[in-house]
Structure 1
Amino acid sequence: MDLNVLKVNVSVKNISKEPLNVDKSNFTLYQDDSQVSTISPDDYNEVLSSSSLNAGKVSKGGLFFVVDKEKDYQLVYNEPGSGSKKDDKTLEFDIKGKDLMKKADTLQASAKALSSYIDVMIFGKNNDEFEKLTGDNKSTVVNTSTARCSRSVATACWTRAWRAISSSSRPTLKSCRSRTTISTA
């Protein structure tokens, strides 16, 4: 079963003079009035870590949620106060699902283009959609890469494929096993 995982990159800066405790539990994602489930990513280095921020310091990281396609969401940040409801501060951010899906489609297209480059340039496979996916002439790419690359320097071919895709300003796809991660950053 494929899961749609929304990764929200957050940056929290302490603009007060007092230390600020930051934790991923300060953030909640809602679809309508329902709280959305969180999920743990494969790489825990990407998660917003718990920390105590001194004045002027910043903490950055990701929050991961299981979401439905094309639904709208609201990310709510509750600043921990002294325990009194009047001291607590809340910030709300709207996330438009249709905008995320457009970004996800772009990411999928980029992943397919990169895969096509790898098939053709490194593994010598025939990929009938190469020109459609990459915008490059397959014969030109193959002839150029064959002249420059041998099996012992496949890494150079990989680098060329990556640069070709990167230079066309196509974003890359981040995959979490059978899940697709959509970054809002």
Structure 2
Amino acid sequence: MARTLQSMSPATVDALPPPHAKRMYKIIALVDGVATSVFDGITQYHPFVTIHQDAQPYHQGGLYVYSTIEDCLRTGTRHFPGSSRLRNAQRAIAVVLAWNDNIIELPVIYGAKRAYSYVQLVDMLPLPPTYGLSSQHRLKSSSGLHNPAQTNIARAQARTLQLEVDVQDMERQLEFARRLLGTSGRMNS
């Protein structure tokens, strides 16, 4: 049975992330402050709203994400086809929860890129100021090979962003523990 364009379009669904949902990362375009698909220019990712599209092999469906910020930054511009509607738009990194219906159902894998059936936006991170240097301009050495400095920049950018995310998570956990213990930041004597 042939899939129609409408059946391939991601849709908003009423689904909460299950315990097996994974934290992943996605380059998105910012259109009037709304996280939007760089590729189709239509799909919007609103905080804590679940988007669904069945993940299928051979790029026939799914919501594409990366396991690490480093992979997201490294491949963020190379892997968007020239036909991407918002390929020149301002971008950010979406922190998402991604999952498939069943805990044993693996994502469709294309190198570092993963296709899941469900994605829910939980946070957004700005791109590092040097992002354009490392991924839009393919720096080359005199031999024509990619410059290792480019890889090092992407790694450093990713580590910095990951540390910021980790610190935010620890601060949230600390605040939760303080509320749970009723201390609200006060030390008990």
TM-score computed with the length of structure 1 as normaliser: 0.31
Higher relative contact order (CA 8 A, sep 6+): 1
More helix by percentage: 1
Q: Tell me the TM-score normalized by structure 2.
A: 0.30
